[in-house]
Amino acid sequence: MDGLSKEQKDEYATVFAMLALYDGGADITSDQINSLLQATGNTEVEGFYPVIMANYAGDPDKLAGLIAVPGAGSGGGGGGGAGGGGETAEEEKEEEKEEEVEEEPVGGGMGDMFGGEEGGDY
């Protein structure tokens, strides 16, 4: 923790307080987060962190979703995963099978590119 900036420490303290409240079944509000931060000696956390975090993930269902799908809340990273579309894994597999069927055989329609069907010079 020594290598972290004050902002990073504030974020961690706030998120850990949220997770403790969630795990204990308590309401996740900015007041509750502030109370837990005070109780744990994190008295210098900027006041906007509990408000932002409670507004973002104060709903237990949303927080559970963030916990279940790591990285879901991050802004960058790899390509888009399954999201928003509501497709299940089975539907995705069916689409992949359909795409495979639609693919042309290797060299499809390009046999004469290098001198005809006979093999040419190569």
Dihedral angle of Cα 6, 8, 11, 16, to the nearest 10 degrees: -110
- Give the integer Cα–Cα distance in Å for 107 and 104: 8
What's the CA gap between 43 and 41, in Å, rounded? 5
Among residues 10, 3, 30, the alpha carbon closest in space to that of 18 is found at 30
Q: Give the 3-state secondary structure percentages of the chain, helix then strand then coil, rounded to 5.
A: 55, 0, 45
- Written as tens digits, the pLDDT of the chain (122 aa) is 678 898 999 999 999 999 898 888 888 899 999 999 999 998 898 989 899 888 888 888 888 888 887 665 555 555 555 555 555 666 666 666 665 555 555 555 555 555 666 655 55
pLDDT tens digits for 27-43? 889 999 999 999 999 88
Angstrom distance (rounded) from CA 33 to CA 116:
74
**8 A C-beta contact, residue 110 and residue 116:** no
- pTM (predicted TM-score): 0.53
Other beta carbons within 10 angstroms of residue 33's beta carbon come to 27
